[in-house]
């Protein structure tokens, strides 16, 4: 389709502000030359990207382009859902997992060409309670690590900040159990679960290697083991997607699932790499719910 009105949402406090402004100008130039309307929308606070996306979609913008990391993308997704506008993701953050999944370019001229080409794909959107996601939701070590990352370390050193948080988690090692309810099956006692809507996870891992954005299901991978050694084995195997055959791993494709706390434990939950709360978490797949720029 032909996008006529494009809203570019970005966080001016992230990265190098002058460099970002220059890159956005380089993106806008060929679009303006082609007669398109481009409105640049800087965010001012957490959650602002969702508000801007919703407002621009209601105002008739047919493409909302989120420029930043997966967190910015997820915020924009919240605002776009149900509006009919398409969502695009221009990678410029720490992880950029969605960009890796889509093989989406970083260079502004190449992104502009993608917009002018107008190719979109209808994709499944996952939902965790009241939060939508394109990549994954999780309970266990990933949420605990995401919740303990030092924001200043993340700003200065990027992915290395997550490695520091992961080492701290391993050192203290406190995995609490929870119950995963899958349709038609007895509850599974898990200590780490990833519900994937895409194959890519981050850091090169493939916890849900059979997942696809165009698949009407979510792929749920449950780890039931307790020891550090088991999880080091899982993580190593997940680098090539071979963990599913290991003991203590349950892998299913589902349209819905529910994860609830066991006993007095209420572990943190994450959606697209951002901590969103604690259990319980209800997971739902919404097939063909969004048009995504590809």
Domain C-terminal end among 118, 142, 161: 118
Count how many Cα atoms sit within 13 Å of the Cα of residue 101 in the half-sphere of its side chain. Answer: 28
- Backbone φ and ψ for 85, nearest 5 degrees, come out as -75, 155
Residue 137 shares a structural domain with residue 282? yes
**The predicted structure's pLDDT at residue 162:** 47
Q: What is the pLDDT of residues 248-266, one digit of tens each?
A: 999 999 999 999 998 777 8
Give the distance, in angstroms, between the CA of residue 275 and the centroid of all CA atoms in the same chain.
11
Given phi > 0 = left and psi -120 to 50 = alpha, else beta, which region is 163? alpha
Residue 241 shares a structural domain with residue 149? yes
Residue 46 shares a structural domain with residue 150? no
- What's the whole-number mean pLDDT along residues 30-38? 98
Handedness of CA 273, 278, 280, 286 (dihedral sign): negative
Residue 165 shares a structural domain with residue 259? yes
Assigned domain for 43 exists: yes
Assigned domain for 126 exists: no
Alpha helices in 108-226 (DSSP H): 108-117, 141-148, 151-157, 159-172
Domains: count for the chain? 2
Assigned domain for 293 exists: no
Residue 151 shares a structural domain with residue 260? yes
| pLDDT of 167 higher than 60 | no
The CATH number linked to 95 is 3.40.50.10330
Residue 104 shares a structural domain with residue 209? no
The CATH number linked to 178 is 2.60.200.40
pLDDT band at 159 (very low <50, low <70, confident <90, very high): low
Assigned domain for 125 exists: no
Assigned domain for 193 exists: yes
Residue 152 shares a structural domain with residue 114? no
Assigned domain for 72 exists: yes
Find the range with the poorest average confidence among 99-113, 134-148, 200-214: 134-148
Residue 155 shares a structural domain with residue 212? yes
Residue 267 shares a structural domain with residue 141? yes
**The predicted structure's pLDDT at residue 189:** 96
pLDDT band at 164 (very low <50, low <70, confident <90, very high): very low
Name the nearest CA neighbour of 11 among 100, 79, 77, 71: 71
Q: What is the pLDDT of residues 61-115, one digit of tens each?
A: 999 999 998 889 999 999 999 999 999 999 987 778 999 899 999 999 999 999 9
Find the range with the poorest average confidence among 73-87, 134-148, 174-188: 134-148
Residue 92 shares a structural domain with residue 149? no
**Residue 107 DSSP symbol:** S
- For residue 190, give its domain range: 132-288
- The pTM for the full model equals 0.91
Assigned domain for 223 exists: yes
| pLDDT of 145 higher than 60 | yes
Domain C-terminal end among 118, 152, 187: 118
Assigned domain for 235 exists: yes
Residue 73 shares a structural domain with residue 182? no
Domain C-terminal end among 88, 118, 148: 118
Q: How many C-beta atoms lie closer than 10 Å to residue 172's C-beta?
A: 8
Residue 208 shares a structural domain with residue 259? yes
Handedness of CA 206, 203, 150, 234 (dihedral sign): positive
């Amino acid at each position: 389709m032909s996008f006529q009105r494009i809203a570019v949402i970005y966080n001016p406090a992230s990265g190098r502000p002058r460099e970002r402004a220059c890159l956005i100008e380089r993106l806008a130039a060929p679009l303006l030359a082609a007669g398109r309307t481009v409105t640049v929308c800087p965010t001012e606070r957490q959650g602002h990207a969702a508000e801007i996306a919703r407002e621009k979609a209601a105002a008739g913008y047919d493409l909302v382009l989120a420029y930043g990391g997966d967190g910015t993308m997820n915020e924009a997704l919240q605002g776009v859902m149900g509006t009919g506008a398409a969502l695009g993701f221009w990678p410029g953050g720490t992880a950029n997992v969605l960009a890796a999944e889509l093989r989406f370019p970083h260079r502004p001229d190449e992104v502009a060409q993608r917009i002018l080409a107008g190719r979109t794909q209808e994709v499944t959107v996952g939902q965790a309670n009241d939060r939508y996601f394109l990549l994954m939701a999780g309970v266990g070590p990933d949420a605990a690590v995401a919740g303990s990352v030092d924001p200043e370390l993340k700003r200065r050193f990027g992915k290395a900040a997550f490695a520091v948080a992961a080492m701290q988690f391993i050192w203290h090692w406190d995995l609490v159990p929870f119950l995963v309810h899958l349709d038609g099956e007895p509850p599974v006692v898990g200590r780490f679960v990833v519900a994937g809507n895409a194959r890519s996870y981050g850091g090169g891992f493939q916890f849900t290697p059979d997942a696809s954005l165009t698949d009407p299901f979510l792929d749920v991978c449950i780890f039931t083991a307790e020891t550090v050694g088991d999880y080091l084995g899982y993580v190593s195997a997940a680098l090539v997607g071979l963990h599913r055959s290991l003991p203590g791993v349950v892998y299913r494709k589902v349209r819905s699932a529910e994860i609830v706390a066991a006993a007095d434990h209420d572990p943190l939950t994450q959606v697209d790499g951002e901590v969103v709360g604690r259990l319980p978490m209800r997971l739902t797949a919404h097939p063909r719910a969004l048009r995504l720029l590809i």
